[in-house]
Amino acid sequence: MNKSTKAVSSGTAAKSERGAFTGSFGFLMTAIGSAIGIGNLWKFPYVTGQNGGGSFVLIYFFITLTIGVIAILGELTIGRHCKLNPVGAYRSLSKKFTFVGVIGESIAFLILTYYNIIGGWVLKYTVAYSLGQGSKIAADPAGYFQAFIGRPVEPLIWTIVFIALNYFILIHKVSDGLELANKIMMPMLFIFLLIMVIRSVTLPNAMAGISFYLTPDFSKVTFSTVTAALGQVFFSMSIGMGIMITYGSYLDDEADIKKLSIQIPVLGLVSAFLCGLAILPAVFAFDLSPAQGSGLIFVTLPHVFEAMPAGRLFAVLFFFLIFFAAISSSLSLFEVPIAYCVDEFHWSRKKTASILAILMFLCSIPEALSFNIFTAKFFGMSCFDFISYLAESLLMPLCGFLMFVILGYLWEPKTQFAEIEKGGTPFGAKNYYRIMVRYLAPLSIAIIWLNSSGILKLFQK
Ligand code: PHE
């Protein structure tokens, strides 16, 4: 056991009521599990290709290593200092901040209502490919997918199965459920990802995808490239809804949160980069378009697998990979309201998880049905699209912005630095941290917010 592993494991009796991570490896795998998700797999490669390839990758790396690192450090600092769920944590800093935690909890809840549906789709495909139904899918991937999501009942059943899998992991203590599941799944995910990368880049004609992905084209870098990168960093690193506050609350005082807040984004970057290398060369090798949105996974990739030697085998592997990515992210989202109910109402994890699982499923129903029988529009969007717009484009940046305002202006810096320095070496970047949390980070988020909410467009007209 190395020093930091020991550090995270020494919990007190009071802490064991809430649960705690047993080691820094488990913590890192769990945090990375939250970061690598379905968004990484279809969105990062595609957004990169559309926004100037290598130049976008550079901007994305830069934003992750600056704002991303500081946001994660800020969340871990709040979480570990307060040792509470986001609502309790913000409230314990000041009653006036409670609403920020409430927004964070709501975002996690809202995202889950549709993440579970997509998780169900992934599960359906994983099972279908594993049972050898690849040829049925390959005969008409778009038709198969449309027919599936167009049926009212079947996708809901897969959503229930996906929620149930989350439930069976989450009813255990943090160390025996969430942490253990991620410790097993994440290394497997990385191995599968590497196999897919090797397969993808060694296909004939893979070069076209590699160059679409990586050739820097600075002429494509505009203001909207930068806001796209900022938004993607937030979603991909799961920043701005209190996941890292919740995870930080399970960390022991001696864990070095400075180190963790660099390790998490760096591993997140490596995995996002690998997702691009696993997907784009393969898509290009078979002359398909990467501009499919989420259909990339369910419609484009089945074509790729069909055309690839031993493609069905790779399809099984790949859908398991996506499944691990999806469930490790949904677990992190579930953990936010679970921590809330355990802290605030002193419910057991089992009771909390049972109530939440049922509630979550009921709230998912209108979104799942918005692909078939529920045709109502909300501001011109389907129920599914509206909820994701509300959570990701409006509330996530808002919550991140408010956190930086609190860190930069309202919470005493001395206490923050003392927290950051616990369990590690002195914090040498205090001035940098102050400039980031006071100016650069909130300003950048305000810009993403104005952009993603569509408000900026009103001015550009
Ligand atoms: N980071 C995940 C992804 O890339 C999504 C996610 C967002 C997970 C927010 C948790 C919280 O798909």
Q: How many CB atoms lie within 10 A of CB 253?
A: 16
The pLDDT of residue 230: 83
- Model confidence pLDDT, tens digit, residues 279-291: 889 888 888 887 7
The pLDDT of residue 30: 95
Torsion of CA 97, 100, 106, 107, to 10 degrees: -160
DSSP for 323-349 reads HHHHHHHHHHHHHHHHHHHHHHH---H
Residue 39 near ligand 1, beta carbon < 6 Å: yes
The pLDDT of residue 460: 65
Residue nearest to atom 9 of ligand 1 (CA): 238
- Model confidence pLDDT, tens digit, residues 178-219: 999 999 999 999 999 999 999 999 998 899 989 988 888 888
Residue 113 near ligand 1, beta carbon < 6 Å: no
pTM over 0.85, yes/no? yes
Residue 235 near ligand 1, beta carbon < 6 Å: yes
Q: List, for the chain, all residue ranges whose pLDDT scores fall below the cut of 50.
A: 1-16
Residue 238 near ligand 1, beta carbon < 6 Å: yes
Residue 34 near ligand 1, beta carbon < 6 Å: yes
Residue 30 near ligand 1, beta carbon < 6 Å: no
Name the residue with tokens 């990062």.
44
Name the residue with tokens 């180190």.
259
Could you tell me which of 141, 176, 124, 187 has the C-alpha nearest to residue 323? 124
Residue 111 near ligand 1, beta carbon < 6 Å: yes
Residue 420 near ligand 1, beta carbon < 6 Å: no
Backbone angles phi, psi at 156, to 5 degrees: -65, -35
39 Cα to the center of ligand 1, angstroms: 6
Name the residue with tokens 């950051």.
420
Q: Which atom of ligand 1 is nearest to the CA of 44?
A: 4
Residue 263 near ligand 1, beta carbon < 6 Å: no
Could you tell me which of 58, 61, 55, 63 has the C-alpha nearest to residue 219? 55
**Rounded distance between C-alpha atoms, residue 74 and residue 353, angstroms:** 28
Q: Which atom of ligand 1 is nearest to the CA of 235?
A: 7
Q: Which atom of ligand 1 is nearest to the CA of 38?
A: 12
204 Cα to the center of ligand 1, angstroms: 33
SS3 39: helix
**Do 323 and 122 contact (CB within 8 A), yes or no?**
yes
What rounded mean pLDDT belongs to the chain? 90
184 Cα to the center of ligand 1, angstroms: 19
The pLDDT of residue 4: 43
**Rounded distance between C-alpha atoms, residue 77 and residue 73, angstroms:** 6
The pLDDT of residue 5: 41
**Rounded distance between C-alpha atoms, residue 222 and residue 233, angstroms:** 17
Residue nearest to atom 7 of ligand 1 (CA): 238
The pLDDT of residue 429: 94
307 Cα to the center of ligand 1, angstroms: 30
291 Cα to the center of ligand 1, angstroms: 20
